[in-house]
A and B are shown apart, each in its own frame.
Chain A
Amino acid sequence: MAATVSSASGLLAMLNEHHPLLKLHALSNLNAFVDHFWPEISTSVPVIESLYEDEEFDQRQLAALLVSKVFYYLGELNDSLSYALGAGPLFDVSEDSDYVHTLLAKAVDEYAVLKPKESSQESEKVDPRLEAIVERLLDKCILDGKYQQAMGIAVECHRLDKIEEAIIKSDNVHTTLSYCINISHAFVNPREYRREVLQLLVKIYQKLPSPDYLSICQCLMFLDEPEGVANILEKLLRSENMDDALLAFQIAFDLVENERQAFLLNVRDRLSDPKPHPSDVPSVQDSMGSSTGNAPPADVDMTVEAPAAVGNVLDPSEMTYSERLARVRGILSGETSIQLTLQFLYSHNRSDLLILKTIKQSVEMRNSVCHSATIHANAIMHAGTTVDTFLRENLDWLSRATNWAKFSATAGLGVIHRGHLQQGRSLMAPYLPQSGATSGGSPYSEGGALYALGLIHANHGEGIKQFLRDSLRSTTTEVIQHGACLGLGLAALGTADEEIYDEVKNVLYSDSAVAGEAAGISMGLLMVGSASEKASEMLAYAHDTQHEKIIRGLALGIALTVYGREEQADTLIEQMTRDQDPILRYGGMYALALAYRGTSNNKAIRQLLHFAVSDVSDDVRRTAVLALGFVLYSEPEQTPRIVSLLSESYNPHVRYGAALAVGISCAGTGLSEAISLLEPLTSDVVDFVRQGALISMAMVMVQTSEASDSRVGTFRRQLEKIILDKHEDTMSKMGAILASGILDAGGRNVTIKLLSKTKHDKVTAVVGLAVFTQFWYWYPLIYFISLAFSPTAFIGLNYDLKVPKFDFLSHAKPSLFEYPRPTTPPAATSTVKLPTAVLSTSAKAKARAKKEAEKAAIAEKMSVEETSSVVAASSGKGKAVAEKEGESLQVLSFLVDSASEKKPEPEPTFEILTNPARVVPAQEKYIKFLEDSRYTPVKLAPSGFVLLKDLRPSEPEVLSLTDSPSSMVSPAAAGSATAAQQSQASSMAVDEEPQPPQPFECSL
Chain B
Amino acid sequence: MDAKLTEVAQLFERFKAASMRNDFDSATNLLSQLKVLLTEFKSLPPLFEESPNAIQELTIARDIYEHAVVLSVKTEDQDAFERDFFQLKPYYTDTGSRLPPSPQEYPILGLNLLRLLVQNRIAEFHTELELLSSSALENPCIKHAVELEQSFMEGAYNRVLSARRTVPHETYVYFMDLLAKTVRDEIAGCSEKAYDYLSISDARQMLMFSTDKELYEYISEDHPEWEVKNGSVFFQKVKESAPSKEIPSLQLINQTLSYARELERIV
Per-residue interface assignment for chain A, residues 68 to 88, with 1 indicating a CB less than 8 Å from any chain B CB and 0 otherwise: 000000000000000000000
Taking a contact as CB atoms under 8 Å apart, the answer to whether A9 and B86 are in contact is: yes
Which 4 A-B pairs give the minimum distances between C-beta atoms? A13-B86, A5-B46, A25-B39, A13-B83
Taking a contact as CB atoms under 8 Å apart, the answer to whether B94 and A16 are in contact is: no
Contacts of A7 in B (CB 8 A): 89-90, 93
Q: Can you name the residue of chain B whose Cβ is closest to the Cβ of A12? A: B86
Given contacts A13-B82, A646-B267, 15 further A-B contacts (CB under 8 A): A3-B48, A5-B45, A5-B46, A5-B94, A7-B93, A9-B86, A10-B86, A13-B87, A17-B32, A17-B35, A17-B83, A21-B36, A22-B36, A29-B46, A654-B267
Contacts of A193 in B (CB 8 A): none
- Interface residue from A12, A32, A614 paired with B265 (Cβ < 8 Å): A614
Which residues of A come within 8 Å of B, CB atoms? 1-14, 16-19, 21-22, 25, 29, 32-33, 613-614, 645-646, 648-650, 654
Q: How far is the CB of A940 from chain B (nearest CB, A)?
A: 46
Taking a contact as CB atoms under 8 Å apart, the answer to whether A10 and B36 are in contact is: no
Which residues of B come within 8 Å of A, CB atoms? 32, 35-36, 39, 45-48, 50, 79, 82-90, 93-95, 97-98, 265-267
Taking a contact as CB atoms under 8 Å apart, the answer to whether B79 and A16 are in contact is: yes
Taking a contact as CB atoms under 8 Å apart, the answer to whether B89 and A649 are in contact is: no
Report the bound CA distance from A25 to B39 in whole Å: 7
A-B contact count (CB 8 A): 72
Q: Can you name the residue of chain A whose Cβ is closest to the Cβ of B39? A: A25
Known: A1-B98, A3-B98, A17-B35. A10 touches B267 (CB 8 A): no
Contacts of B87 in A (CB 8 A): 10, 13-14
What are 25 pairs between A and B in contact, CB < 8 Å?
Answer: A1-B97, A1-B98, A2-B48, A3-B48, A3-B95, A6-B94, A7-B89, A10-B45, A10-B86, A10-B89, A10-B90, A12-B86, A13-B82, A13-B83, A13-B86, A14-B83, A16-B83, A18-B32, A21-B36, A22-B36, A29-B47, A614-B265, A646-B267, A648-B267, A650-B267
Contacts of A10 in B (CB 8 A): 45-46, 86-90
Q: How far is the CB of B44 from chain A (nearest CB, A)?
A: 10
Taking a contact as CB atoms under 8 Å apart, the answer to whether B89 and A9 are in contact is: yes
Report the bound CA distance from A14 to B83 in whole Å: 7
Report the bound CA distance from A7 to B45 in whole Å: 10
Report the bound CA distance from A18 to B50 in whole Å: 29
Known: A3-B97, A22-B35, A25-B39. A613 touches B83 (CB 8 A): no
Report the bound CA distance from A113 to B210 in whole Å: 71
Contacts of B94 in A (CB 8 A): 3-6
Report the bound CA distance from A12 to B86 in whole Å: 8
Report the bound CA distance from A426 to B83 in whole Å: 104
Q: How far is the CB of A415 from chain B (nearest CB, A)?
A: 38
Report the bound CA distance from A274 to B8 in whole Å: 97
Report the bound CA distance from A648 to B50 in whole Å: 70
- Interface residue from B84, B85, B267 paired with A645 (Cβ < 8 Å): B267
Contacts of A33 in B (CB 8 A): 46
Contacts of B50 in A (CB 8 A): 2
Taking a contact as CB atoms under 8 Å apart, the answer to whether B32 and A19 are in contact is: yes
Known: A14-B83, A645-B267. A6 touches B93 (CB 8 A): yes
Q: Can you name the residue of chain A whose Cβ is closest to the Cβ of B35? A: A22
Report the bound CA distance from A126 to B88 in whole Å: 47
Contacts of B89 in A (CB 8 A): 7, 9-10
Which of B36, B39, B84, B265 gathers most chain A CB within 10 Å? Answer: B39
Which of A1, A3, A33, A646 gathers most chain B CB within 10 Å? Answer: A3
Report the bound CA distance from A613 to B263 in whole Å: 11
Q: How far is the CB of B148 from chain A (nearest CB, A)?
A: 24
Q: How far is the CB of A684 from chain B (nearest CB, A)?
A: 16
Report the bound CA distance from A14 to B97 in whole Å: 24
Q: How far is the CB of B62 from chain A (nearest CB, A)?
A: 12
Contacts of A11 in B (CB 8 A): 46
Report the bound CA distance from A21 to B36 in whole Å: 7
Report the bound CA distance from A33 to B97 in whole Å: 22
Q: Can you name the residue of chain B whose Cβ is closest to the Cβ of A654? A: B267
Contacts of B85 in A (CB 8 A): 13
Q: Can you name the residue of chain B whose Cβ is closest to the Cβ of A647? A: B267
Report the bound CA distance from A650 to B88 in whole Å: 73
Contacts of A18 in B (CB 8 A): 32
Q: How far is the CB of B53 from chain A (nearest CB, A)?
A: 15
Q: Can you name the residue of chain B whose Cβ is closest to the Cβ of A20? A: B36
Contacts of B93 in A (CB 8 A): 6-7
Q: Can you name the residue of chain A whose Cβ is closest to the Cβ of B84? A: A13
Taking a contact as CB atoms under 8 Å apart, the answer to whether B46 and A21 are in contact is: no
Report the bound CA distance from A613 to B267 in whole Å: 6
Taking a contact as CB atoms under 8 Å apart, the answer to whether B265 and A613 are in contact is: yes
Contacts of A648 in B (CB 8 A): 267
Which of B50, B83, B97 gathers most chain A CB within 10 Å? Answer: B83
